[in-house]
Structure 1
């Protein structure tokens, strides 16, 4: 006997899951067939995604759309990727509507959707929209449907049509007639916000200002050691201002990171200035590195292309500090989980500040009240391998009365930035075929190739190596700093006085860590 013909309808729409920094396309498939009324979801959905069935069913009912009393099955493919977040509400609703005959399945072809639905049918913003739009462009989608609150962020990609919807009725309207949606195109401008804090406000500290300029010019890491109130934090907050403005590509890269982290402001979703991240010393290792059940960017990634400032560095936990070792070398941070290993970009300047002892006045024994054991224990909180990754160390001394009361105005942030920009352009031109941009990124054979010393410079370096306990890593970092100092003098060869100045920023190995 022939089998009885069953009534069934199927529809599918594209969405996306974000794992780390990677965006994976997800097909949300819905099947409506005869049988006992039920709503089943398969394809490795999390508990949060499973809750979407109740939100969607109630939202449709409150908008006058009744789902048929049939068996509804929803699959999220591929099934080996765990689906997290409320962003699957919108594609789930669209797929079910198409499978129920309210929409046509062809209307969902080559369309990517994401958004959260409330019980009254309103559609709310979600994080991670920008990387989803970029992936939709790679998938050659016809257009994307996103919450209206995310529209400014989504339209940062100019060559991808994006439809912003406020509720379910608008979603249905524009899926039926996408050509009826029109919005004025706006030009993407990347103008860096005016920096209020200026270097001209800093009194004295010429040697520290010089160290900061070297660090930014070559993208080197910097450690500032000095007593409380000497101006370490004040200088650190002005470092992003002397860095060259972000390019459009860098701005979009940072916007993608901040979108995934859910930190973009709704009124201006484009990151326009270099990030300056200053986590408190109680910051956990996970918050610093990133992670979680579904890994998200941490402070080291949020500081990408900018500055990570660690004030009172020895007060951070040893575990948090040791996490920095890998990203300082590789410029990425890798987080291993059961379902895979995730990579996050972490190309930043580490700027750290610390007191030389618990009271802050060592080695001034007239004011320091710490015992040698307390000083040693305090400084020992920073391991030698981490110290080796800090290219420069600036000794910060308090500014005297004459310096503080002087009306002499120092160099402005704009003046310093002009010099830094020229030196960085020189490096970019030199390394255009090397896959790097700055001296701080030089590796192995590249150091031998580009850090050529004259005879006097080589003799001075040999003498210093024999008398100072340099590791191989510290030796190479010293050469990279000398390369930057030579570039600031527009010298192709590294000379004796370039080596001498670079050595002066490694003297902390002798002065503090004996």
Structure 2
């Protein structure tokens, strides 16, 4: 006979699944068992929970204790079930009343002395609990800032198992309530005025920010490729409330949130080293895959510096995510889908020796071709804007010309994004880069005289059909920046010129 039922939440990617935890005492020789596909960390919970209960001044029954986690076919892992397991056992053993935990989700890891420790994924777990109709949640106190992001759910925080027990018994113990949500401190973004010269690169960055396009910056070292890339997040608008919650949920699962900044409001920026593994880029791990860099950069920027130094399998792994805005990862315990709608910025030298001027290159032609060919044709076909950076030859003149700062460019980007948002609002698209090619060619088709050069490039094989779609998207962005109702022939030509620029 089942004597107690409480609720916790399992994570499957960035989605939570409510888990009913049942506890039964008796019926066999003294031992503790957990059923319901627990992993190693969850199976060890029976030892943590028993020690935590004993060290909290309570007794562990000298009988068979069985915990059943339902749905039984769902793989479950991690230490976040410790609090729910301990409460279920205490309710089953009539140590505390079960009514206190009706419609309540319990999350938290237990130390051996009964202290509650924070766990990953609190935000998506509580969002799932709210969707399932639960009305309250008890979490470790350090997780309260993150838990407070979930509205219409009573959230309580505890430091120890003893506090939870005393609260359930109605003693004079009050669990903690979340404080007012403190806005994340503003991120000090580097300014565009730091970049000397490079008018083509600056313009390409503005177009990329206005339309959400991917960019390739190629050229000699020291020309400002990395500086430009690191200034792209400063041109992007702050995340909307829905976007902020979505990005925060990913970072919560990854365990990268802090109590000082529980809500991610600025577009994230992720710049892995060129030795990063495939799992670090797209996600991976045993059992259920964890999010990778492309998901951490969701609604932000993924910057691959020295892109040609990345192993080709790392780069090719990005192709599906670039096209679909999400990544599907199949592992032993199931398939998870992580959002991955990021802007890719590639920066690369043109050859291994990377001289300041092309004339000084000592690499044989085949070495140059082999080096730049690590950026494959299918990958580059998904990059909307390609810029050949030129050496800076007149630094003093550039400094005197007072280049535009980030705030000025960001204002134009905001206006262009607002125009695009109004145009695509009925379809659910936010930026020009998200618009499917068939819709651009049918519902928003441009006159034939406007796309004549694009059609000619297609017929001669200069670009692919995917490349033509991306040219159309860039042309709409150029029109938005110019305040035009739709792209003109000049806009289409300029967009095509962005793709035809050679990187080697």
TM-score when normalising by structure 1: 0.93
Residues 192 and 246 in structure 1, CA contact (< 8 A), matched pair in contact too:
no
Output the aligned Cα RMSD.
Answer: 2.1
Residues 97 and 168 in structure 2, CA contact (< 8 A), matched pair in contact too:
no
Instruction: Report the counterpart of residue 210 of structure 2 in structure 1.
Output: 217
Q: Classify 1:462/1:134 alpha carbon distance in 2 versus 1 (closer, same or farther; 3 Å).
A: closer
Instruction: Report the counterpart of residue 308 of structure 2 in structure 1.
Output: 314
2-structure distance, mates of 1:61, 1:440? 58
Deviation string, structure 1 residues 201-245 (Cα, Å, up to 9, x no partner): 222111111101111111111000110110000111110001011
The 3-state SS of whatever aligns with 1:432 is helix
Instruction: Report the counterpart of residue 334 of structure 1 in structure 2.
Output: 328
The 3-state SS of whatever aligns with 2:427 is coil
Residues 302 and 344 in structure 2, CA contact (< 8 A), matched pair in contact too:
yes
**Is 1:26 the counterpart of 2:15 in the alignment?**
no
Residues 108 and 140 in structure 2, CA contact (< 8 A), matched pair in contact too:
yes
Superposition deviation, residue 189 in structure 1: 5.7
Residues 157 and 176 in structure 2, CA contact (< 8 A), matched pair in contact too:
no
- Which shows bigger deviation, 202-211 or 220-229? 202-211
2-structure distance, mates of 1:346, 1:221? 13
2-structure distance, mates of 1:94, 1:108? 9
Q: Classify 1:238/1:434 alpha carbon distance in 2 versus 1 (closer, same or farther; 3 Å).
A: same
Residues 140 and 158 in structure 2, CA contact (< 8 A), matched pair in contact too:
yes
2-structure distance, mates of 1:153, 1:365? 52
Instruction: Report the counterpart of residue 5 of structure 1 in structure 2.
Output: none
Instruction: Report the counterpart of residue 298 of structure 2 in structure 1.
Output: 304
The 3-state SS of whatever aligns with 1:488 is helix
1:412 to 392, 400, 405: 405
Superposition deviation, residue 452 in structure 1: 4.0
The 3-state SS of whatever aligns with 1:12 is strand
Q: Classify 1:433/1:474 alpha carbon distance in 2 versus 1 (closer, same or farther; 3 Å).
A: same
2-structure distance, mates of 1:189, 1:159? 18
Residues 454 and 495 in structure 1, CA contact (< 8 A), matched pair in contact too:
no
Instruction: Report the counterpart of residue 227 of structure 1 in structure 2.
Output: 220
Instruction: Report the counterpart of residue 432 of structure 2 in structure 1.
Output: 439
**Is 1:426 the counterpart of 2:419 in the alignment?**
yes
Residues 144 and 178 in structure 2, CA contact (< 8 A), matched pair in contact too:
no
Residues 22 and 69 in structure 2, CA contact (< 8 A), matched pair in contact too:
yes
Q: Residues 347-366 of structure 1 correspond to what in structure 2 (within 5 A)?
A: 347-361=341-355, 365-366=358-359
The 3-state SS of whatever aligns with 1:485 is helix
Instruction: Report the counterpart of residue 257 of structure 1 in structure 2.
Output: 250
Superposition deviation, residue 247 in structure 1: 1.7
Residues 192 and 245 in structure 1, CA contact (< 8 A), matched pair in contact too:
no
Q: Classify 1:302/1:155 alpha carbon distance in 2 versus 1 (closer, same or farther; 3 Å).
A: same
Instruction: Report the counterpart of residue 143 of structure 2 in structure 1.
Output: 150
The 3-state SS of whatever aligns with 2:490 is helix
2-structure distance, mates of 1:493, 1:432? 16
Instruction: Report the counterpart of residue 472 of structure 1 in structure 2.
Output: 465
- Which shows bigger deviation, 33-42 or 137-146? 33-42
Superposition deviation, residue 72 in structure 1: 0.9
2-structure distance, mates of 1:323, 1:213? 27
Instruction: Report the counterpart of residue 3 of structure 1 in structure 2.
Output: none
Instruction: Report the counterpart of residue 240 of structure 2 in structure 1.
Output: 247
Deviation string, structure 1 residues 319-340 (Cα, Å, up to 9, x no partner): 1111111011110111112433
- Unpaired segments ≥5 residues, structure 1: 1-7
Superposition deviation, residue 343 in structure 1: 0.7
1:56 to 49, 58, 65: 49
Residues 24 and 92 in structure 2, CA contact (< 8 A), matched pair in contact too:
yes
2-structure distance, mates of 1:111, 1:176? 15
Instruction: Report the counterpart of residue 265 of structure 2 in structure 1.
Output: 272
Superposition deviation, residue 353 in structure 1: 0.5
- Unpaired segments ≥5 residues, structure 2: none
- Alignment: residue pair count: 503
- Which shows bigger deviation, 323-332 or 437-446? 437-446
Q: Classify 1:262/1:476 alpha carbon distance in 2 versus 1 (closer, same or farther; 3 Å).
A: same
- Which shows bigger deviation, 463-472 or 217-226? 463-472
- Which shows bigger deviation, 171-180 or 85-94? 171-180
